[in-house]
């Protein structure tokens, strides 16, 4: 597998940043029945690209995101990061590889240790640097994500921030080690409409400035329309339709995609 990737590189072909090949994952319920959360899924994310993984709750999106992050091992298939097998790594090699791919979880409240300050959360990613350097990077990141002045937030605890502010800190933490890819699992679900727009603008700016790629997991197909280059529609553990965002959303081919689009509320301009 790795040899094949090397051959592609030798021919001048640009490897995908993230590649999932034939990934499957099942879970056993307490009663003994089996839930097939992900079924033989293929998915790629290129450098600097945003792919929206869209589907209703329970479709397997979050499980696929955790597999991409190497947090949940698949039952079958492979995960490649820049052509190298992610699943074959362990220990220090895995920790080093993970610097290229970082998560932003759905609930910023549960993804932070309530006993640690924002300074400590941001410092975890840069803990090998001198204290002064960690402080400087933390303040700069908070300023970058719109929490200004950043220094005033460093000594606060997560419960002292609003949901939108915690989500911004989550983005700052993900950026602390300059990843190439961010897996964002419903990053806007806990924010109101104005904050959702601000966070989307922030992610878009970071994509333009730092060439960060995104795997955006969402049930809201309107986010895909506003933010993504490509869309993959997931239903019952399978990707039933994928392609350029404009093409999929303007001319959906699968009945499930059409139902998702039909479910979007809209306002009649005449009223």
Q: What is the pLDDT along the chain (271 residues), one digit of tens a residue?
A: 233 333 344 344 567 899 999 999 999 988 888 999 999 999 999 999 999 999 998 899 999 999 999 999 999 999 999 888 988 888 888 888 888 999 998 777 778 899 999 999 998 878 888 889 999 999 998 998 888 898 999 999 999 998 888 888 988 898 888 899 999 998 876 666 767 777 788 888 888 888 899 999 998 888 888 889 999 999 999 999 999 999 998 999 999 999 988 887 766 666 5
Residue 232 covered by a domain: yes
Cβ–Cβ < 8 Å for 61, 55: yes
Report the number of distinct structural domains present in the chain: 1
Residue 116 lies in a domain: no
**Which two tokens mark 185?**
């699992």
Say which CATH number the domain at 96 has. Answer: 3.40.50.300
Is 237 part of any domain?
yes
Neighbour order of strands in the sheet with 230-235:
101-104, 181-185, 213-218, 50-54, 230-235, 238-244
In a domain, 145, yes or no: no
Count the neighbouring beta carbons within 10 Å of the beta carbon of residue 22.
Answer: 12
Count of beta carbons in the 10 Å neighbourhood of residue 74: 23
Residue 132 forms part of a structural domain: no
- pLDDT for the residue 23: 97
Residue 253 lies in a domain: yes
- Give residue 168's pLDDT: 87
124 lies in a domain?
A: no
State the burial class of residue 34 (Cβ atoms within 10 Å of its Cβ: 0-12, 13-18, 19+): exposed
CA separation for the pair 252, 63 (Å, rounded): 25
Instruction: Find the domain containing 74 and state its range.
Output: 2-111+181-262
User: CA torsion sign, 157 to 158 to 161 to 164?
Assistant: positive
Tell me whether residue 22 is in a domain: yes
Q: What is the pLDDT of residue 208?
A: 86
Q: What pTM was estimated for this model as a whole?
A: 0.85
């Amino acid at each position: 597998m790795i040899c094949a990737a090397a051959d592609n590189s030798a021919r001048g072909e640009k490897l995908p940043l993230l590649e999932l090949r034939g990934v499957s994952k099942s879970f056993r319920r307490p009663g003994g029945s089996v839930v097939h959360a992900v079924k033989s899924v293929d998915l790629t994310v290129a450098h600097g690209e945003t792919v929206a993984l869209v589907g209703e709750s329970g479709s397997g999106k979050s499980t696929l995101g955790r597999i991409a992050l190497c947090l949940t091992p698949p039952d079958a298939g492979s995960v490649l990061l820049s052509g190298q097998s992610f699943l074959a790594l362990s220990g220090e090699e895995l920790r080093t590889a993970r610097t290229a791919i970082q998560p932003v979880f759905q609930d910023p409240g549960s993804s932070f240790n309530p006993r640690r300050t924002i300074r400590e959360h941001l410092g975890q990613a840069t803990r090998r640097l001198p204290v002064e350097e960690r402080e400087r990077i933390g303040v700069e990141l908070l300023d970058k994500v719109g929490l200004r002045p950043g220094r005033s937030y460093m000594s606060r605890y997560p419960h002292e921030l609003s949901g939108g502010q915690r989500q911004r800190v989550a983005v700052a933490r993900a950026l602390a080690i300059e990843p190439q890819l961010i897996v964002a699992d419903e990053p806007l679900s806990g924010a109101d409409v104005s904050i959702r727009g601000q966070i989307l603008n922030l992610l878009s700016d970071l994509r333009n400035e730092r060439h960060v790629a995104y795997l955006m997991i969402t049930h809201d197909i309107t986010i895909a329309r506003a933010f993504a280059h490509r869309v993959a529609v997931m239903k019952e553990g399978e990707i039933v339709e994928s392609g350029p965002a404009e093409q999929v959303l303007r001319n959906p081919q699968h009945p499930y995609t059409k139902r998702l689009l039909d479910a979007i509320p809209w306002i009649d301009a005449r009223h």
